[in-house]
Amino acid sequence: MSINVMVNGIPGNMGITVAKTALARGFNLIPFSLTGEMIVENEYDLDSLKIELLKPSNREEKIASILADYPQLICVDYTHPSAVNQNAEFYVKHGIPFVMGTTGGDREALTALVSKHKHPSVIAPNMAKQIVAFQAMIEYLASEFPSAFDGYKLSVVESHQKTKADTSGTAKAVVGSFQKMGFSFSESDIELVRNEPEQINRMQVPEAYLSGHAFHTYSLDSQDQSVHFEFQHNICGRHVYAEGTMDAVLFLSERIHAGKPDTYNMMDVLRSGKMG
């Protein structure tokens, strides 16, 4: 049975990539997408499918008929950090399960909202399964060997396309694990690289991927600078996130049909083995 999916955030690059991946993997991509009020267009042509763009000013009047026409709908959110919480409230209000790929927003309020209503969702700062596995590795290090890097200094640099409005959610999550090891390091200490010449020359981002990449470096140095450890993950393009997102949709759909609707994260998806 094909899963009805509504990808929100079109005509943004990530929304378009996820929508095309949904089609390629056989999901039923419905012809609607939530978008921002500032978007001029009312429609977007995605290959042969015409997507109607719904804005905050008109989505309430449309959603009832959409849910009637496309039962058991799952929303995928790749909108804007400023829309995270209001979109989540919209999904909860109308009983729509969702996968939140958008980073930023008030994450504590987001978690509290879905927990209060036991709303079926997958929420994660990163949808790439390999990065999720890396996060699990660092979390394991923090829980099992919390004093391994006592006295060391942490530095974190992340580079994303210049249009990314917020600090990487993945970097924040990994920093959280390092903080459990005693590092005096806050999210505000993460260095953001958004200048394209610096991305090319310093971060070694291929020019072809300046508009879509995620290059992260986590460095650990001893006090006397004689020992250096470095964890690095560099991703070019957006496809790996789109594939992981659709894995999350499949996982959430199966959880709902199994009578286990709940709030999950990508660690849960990874452990389930429901990964493409």
User: How crowded is residue 169: how many other Cβ atoms within 10 Å of its Cβ?
Assistant: 18
Question: Could you list the pLDDT tens digit for every one of the 276 residues in the chain?
Answer: 589 999 999 999 999 999 999 999 999 999 999 999 999 999 999 988 999 999 999 999 999 999 999 999 999 999 999 999 999 999 999 999 999 999 889 999 999 999 999 999 999 988 998 999 999 999 999 999 999 999 999 999 999 999 887 899 889 989 999 999 999 899 999 999 999 999 999 999 999 999 999 999 999 999 999 999 999 999 999 999 999 999 999 999 999 999 998 999 999 999 887 655
Catalytic annotation present for 116:
no
Active site annotation includes 164: yes
Half-sphere exposure (Cβ direction) of 5: Cα atoms closer than 13 Å: 31
User: What secondary structure letter does DSSP report for 48?
Assistant: T
* Catalytic residue from among 80, 119, 129, 164: 164
Q: Is residue 118 within 8 Å of 96, Cβ to Cβ?
A: no
Q: Say how many C-beta atoms besides its own lie within 10 A of residue 212's C-beta.
A: 19
Three-state secondary-structure class, residue 218 = strand
The set of residues, in sequence order, having a beta carbon less than 8 Å from that of 240 and lying 6+ positions away, is 128, 129, 130
**What pTM was estimated for this model as a whole?**
0.84
Which listed CATH number (3.40.50.720, 3.40.50.300, 3.90.1150.50, 1.20.1300.10) goes with 4-123+239-272?
3.40.50.720
| CA angle in degrees (0–180, nearest 5) for 167-173-177 | 135
First to last CA, the chain: 17
> Which member of 80, 119, 129, 160 is catalytic?
160
Q: Which CATH number fits domain 129-236: 3.30.70.20, 3.30.360.10, 3.40.50.150, 3.40.50.1000?
A: 3.30.360.10
